[in-house]
A = this chain, B = another copy of it.
Amino acid sequence: MPALKAYLAGPDVFLPNAAAQAEAKRTICARHGLIGISPYNPELDFSLPAAVLWRRIYLDDIAMMQGCDLIIANLTPFRGASADAGTLVELGWFLGQGRPAFGYSNTAEDFGARSRAQMRASPDPLPGIEVEDFGLADNLMIQGAVEYGGGVSLHLPPDGRSRAFDALDVFERCAAAAALETRR
């Protein structure tokens, strides 16, 4: 059977060393028998008008997703209580397509605690808005997407200690599990 292609979604594309991070993830995937496909594209012409450029990135990403068998989503919180917005749309897309979804987060703190921290830093626009607090890593639709879409839970730091934003050891555990689950 040819190796499966894993779409490597995440805010990694925004890192200052995005190209090196993408390469490191592809190397880890290869170690576990997966072909990692990163949405990071250094050949994009960033001199294009914004209205052309973002649509090109969107359509390129959708085309890459179409060509992938599964997603491994970096669900580490990004600029708010939850994971990166684009990554979440992509996670939902794989779920909607019935293609396996896997995810990980480098943050050990749970969603309820992070939501309250966010509210302290930037108060809610109205009083009394509920905090979702099921002890999960993020909003329950995310937890459900990876649990019911991939057959395993969301991968978190196994020792309960948050990792650096760009650490790769939890990603490697997730990639190993994704390879194992989709091989069956």
Binding site for B on A (CB under 8 A): 11, 13-16, 50-51, 53-55, 57-59, 61-62, 79-86, 88-97, 115, 117-119, 121-122, 124-132, 134-136, 138-145, 147-148, 164-166
Known A-B contacts: A14-B129, A79-B81, A89-B141. Give 15 more (CB < 8 A): A15-B129, A16-B130, A58-B141, A59-B148, A79-B80, A79-B119, A85-B142, A88-B92, A93-B93, A93-B96, A95-B96, A97-B97, A117-B122, A125-B164, A126-B165
Complex CA–CA separation, A86 to B140 (angstroms): 7
**Are B16 and A129 within 8 A (Cβ)?**
yes
**Are B57 and A140 within 8 A (Cβ)?**
yes
A61 to chain B, nearest CB (A): 7
Count of this chain's copies in the oligomeric assembly: 2
Complex CA–CA separation, A78 to B91 (angstroms): 19
**Are B141 and A85 within 8 A (Cβ)?**
yes
A69 to chain B, nearest CB (A): 14
**Are A125 and B85 within 8 A (Cβ)?**
no
Which 9 interchain pairs have the tightest Cβ spacing?
Answer: A80-B80, A92-B92, A96-B96, A58-B144, A82-B85, A16-B128, A88-B88, A86-B141, A93-B96
Select A122's contact among B82, B121, B135, B136, beta carbons within 8 Å: B121
